[in-house]
Amino acid sequence: MSTRTEDQAVEDRGVGGPPMRLHHNAYVTNDQAATREFYEDIIGMPLVATWKESDVLFGKERVYCHTFYGMADGSALAFFQFASPEDQAEFGPEMPHSPFQHIATKVDVTTQAVLEKKLQDANWKPEETYVLEHGYCRSLYTVDPNGLLLEFTVDAPGVEEADAERRATARADLESWLAGDYTSNNNYR
């Protein structure tokens, strides 16, 4: 008797599923040293790989450093820095200045409290570090050395119920919003 997993069965049928997890999210930095200090020393995400590369990319030889900072699930945040000032200017870090464009990571209550204290102790951009209570989660926000907005989120107790509700009505909620019904469905605030 075979003990095939569901993943093997899906693979055997030639049908893919959704992506398994984030592999990495990449950005350009002007300062690999400041980026390393922030992610390793303050946030606690270890530098797990540094690739020093030289490739023909977009019709030109590019020399760059590509660093990866690991998360507990194996995913990473990655950063490029180019050796050439021209390449750096062409691909450089123009981070969006909007609270609606950010990277959100899931943390537990203890990790969020430790991060909040470490940011305070480092006097890390206090004017750009804040907490928002969303009802279904509590989020700590800060900006990295490159202007990238980061969110460290703790789900509220009972979030599984809220997730189930949102999954069950996701398509209908989107359709009604697109049709002009802007009534809030966040009953948790």
Is residue 76 in some structural domain? yes
Is residue 116 in some structural domain? no
* Contact of 82 with 30, CB cutoff 8 Å: no
- pLDDT tens readout for residues 2-52: 454 555 545 555 667 877 888 899 999 999 999 999 999 999 999 999 999
Is residue 177 in some structural domain? no
- Amino acid present at 19: P
- Name the residue range of residue 40's domain: 1-94
- pLDDT tens readout for residues 98-141: 777 889 999 999 999 999 999 999 999 999 999 999 888 899 99
pTM: 0.78
Question: Which CATH number belongs to the domain containing residue 43 in this structure?
Answer: 3.10.180
Is residue 58 in some structural domain? yes
Is residue 118 in some structural domain? no
Is residue 134 in some structural domain? no
